[in-house]
A and B are shown apart, each in its own frame.
With several copies, the nearest count.
Chain A
Amino acid sequence: MINKVVTDADEAIRDIEDGMTLMLGGFGLCGIPENCIKALIRKGTKDLTCISNNAGVDDFGIGLMLQQKQVRKMISSYVGENAEFERQLLSGELEVELIPQGTLATRCMAAGYGMPAIFTPAGVGTEVAEGKEVRNFNGKDYLMEMAFDADFAIVKAWKGDTAGNLIYRSTARNFNPVMAMAGKVTIAEVEELVAVGELDPDSIHTPGIFVHRVFQGNNYEKRIEQRTVTERRL
């Protein structure tokens, strides 16, 4: 097997340069590549275009990169509660492209599957359709949406082996598998790095061929954005 292991997040992101386009996995703060985000902040890479469903919160996730003004443009479906984000957006420092969540996922998928464009009905008749080709199939209108073109995809998995095979845990899976397939270079940080042979081939979510670098992250905070609980009844 081909060994994809790098030492740590700093080595994994060593060649991410100013002005590049990155995909970052996660939904809200769930399943985000915490270690690589911190390494990007240490490196101070600037003018990044970030494709990620959300933009973190003020003091966690991509929000930390926004604090350091490393992001020039966000491509997201929902940017949520983030005061610094709002300030930069209103001041014109930050560009934001909001796209439907399914379109975001499917444009990643298109890249991973080598399909240059896909058709989706999402956004037909709305401002999302502006400037896009509309095409009717079987009586229904669809927008033609283009595959993303990202220099790096940065994903977080639960377990990974040295060949880059990945398994995600629960809803921390979200955008991670489709982004893992879509990057020109894909970096995976995992909670547990294991030897080849320890993952069941039938249970692998992302085959190692898509992953260029893998490392075991540390100090995962896994912050909860909306803690909701059921009262215990005695």
Chain B
Amino acid sequence: MALSKEQIAQRISREIRDGYYVNLGIGIPTLVANYIPQGINVVLQSENGLLGMGPFPYEGEEDPDLINAGKQTITTLPGSAIFDSALSFGMIRSQKVNLTILGAMEVSENGDIANWKIPGKMVKGMGGAMDLVASAKNIIVAMQHVNKAGESKLLPECTLPLTGVKCVKKIVTELAVLEVLPAGGFKLLERAPGVSVEEIKNATAGKLIVEGEIPEMVITSVG
């Protein structure tokens, strides 16, 4: 069974360690916040200028001056700090943010990522993604393994304009958890429950490395 978006988010949440500062991209990454395990202290950074992003406000308590990088109304938490955009990308560039989780259209087997532009289509812009992928020590990509036409999005080389080069460390898709090896190649770490290695092979156009028995992911949410 391929994972739902919520299940992808849940699986990614287990990569978060106590004491991490984490930047979550738009889409599936945003959902990760819902699954952070109890007892794990994490601070969410929003690149528009906030450390310590809290949940959405209750209706009637929305503050137009308090939004996240997805322009959604949010809240602060005790211990939150506000800063300007230059300082925000300063802390990203100086690698104070421990983990960046973002979506992708394509990832290549050497860790290149494309997630901002499709030639011929209206381009909305890269936002903060190019800064995040160029600077983060630890990048996890949440993405679909194949596109709507059934074509693999894990490729030998990206076909779309790049967002960053050799930066992706780990990928969680509806089918698998994969590590991008420093020398290149997608190393299969875990399978989605009931998904075979063969299915993952068929869905991966780039070099897939399968060593030994591949365990199934532990997913507890029903999605």
Least Cβ distance of B82 to chain A in Å?
5
Docked CA distance A31–B82 (Å): 14
Cβ–Cβ contact B64 & A30, under 8 A: yes
Least Cβ distance of A28 to chain B in Å?
4
Binding stretch for chain B, among A9-17, A35-43, A171-179: A171-179
Q: Which of B65, B128, B166 contacts A102 (CB 8 A)?
A: B128
Cβ–Cβ contact B41 & A207, under 8 A: no
The interface residues of chain A lying within 8 Å CB-to-CB of B83 are 173, 204, 207
The interface residues of chain B lying within 8 Å CB-to-CB of A120 are 93, 131, 134
The interface residues of chain B lying within 8 Å CB-to-CB of A234 are none
Cβ–Cβ contact A30 & B43, under 8 A: no
The interface residues of chain B lying within 8 Å CB-to-CB of A77 are 125-128
Report if A161 contacts B (CB, 8 A): yes
Cβ–Cβ contact B67 & A201, under 8 A: no
Cβ–Cβ contact A202 & B82, under 8 A: yes
Cβ–Cβ contact A172 & B91, under 8 A: no
Cβ–Cβ contact A101 & B79, under 8 A: no
Least Cβ distance of B119 to chain A in Å?
11
Docked CA distance A204–B127 (Å): 26
The interface residues of chain A lying within 8 Å CB-to-CB of B76 are 170, 201
The interface residues of chain B lying within 8 Å CB-to-CB of A50 are none
Cβ–Cβ contact A207 & B65, under 8 A: no
Cβ–Cβ contact A106 & B123, under 8 A: no
Task: Categorize the interface residue count of chain B.
Answer: 35 or more
Residues of A within 8 Å of B, CB-based: how many? 79
Report if B81 contacts A (CB, 8 A): yes
Cβ–Cβ contact B162 & A101, under 8 A: no
Cβ–Cβ contact A101 & B59, under 8 A: no
- Given the interface pairs A30-B65, A113-B86, A121-B134, the reply to whether A228 lies near B81 with Cβ below 8 Å is no
Scan B105-134; emit 1 where CB is below 8 A from any A CB, else 0: 000000010000000001111111111001
Cβ–Cβ contact A229 & B97, under 8 A: no
Docked CA distance A126–B21 (Å): 27
The interface residues of chain A lying within 8 Å CB-to-CB of B92 are 102, 114
The interface residues of chain A lying within 8 Å CB-to-CB of B73 are 224, 226-229
Report if A219 contacts B (CB, 8 A): no
Cβ–Cβ contact A162 & B131, under 8 A: no
Cβ–Cβ contact A113 & B79, under 8 A: no
Cβ–Cβ contact B41 & A204, under 8 A: no
Report if A21 contacts B (CB, 8 A): no
Q: Which of A89, A127, A170, A175 contacts B63 (CB 8 A)?
A: A170
Report if A3 contacts B (CB, 8 A): yes
- Given the interface pairs A1-B41, A171-B48, the reply to whether A227 lies near B62 with Cβ below 8 Å is yes
The interface residues of chain A lying within 8 Å CB-to-CB of B164 are 124-126
Cβ–Cβ contact A204 & B71, under 8 A: no
- Given the interface pairs A123-B134, A162-B79, the reply to whether A224 lies near B64 with Cβ below 8 Å is yes
Cβ–Cβ contact B85 & A105, under 8 A: yes
The interface residues of chain A lying within 8 Å CB-to-CB of B112 are 125
Q: Which of A29, A114, A162 contacts B95 (CB 8 A)?
A: A114
The interface residues of chain A lying within 8 Å CB-to-CB of B88 are 102, 105
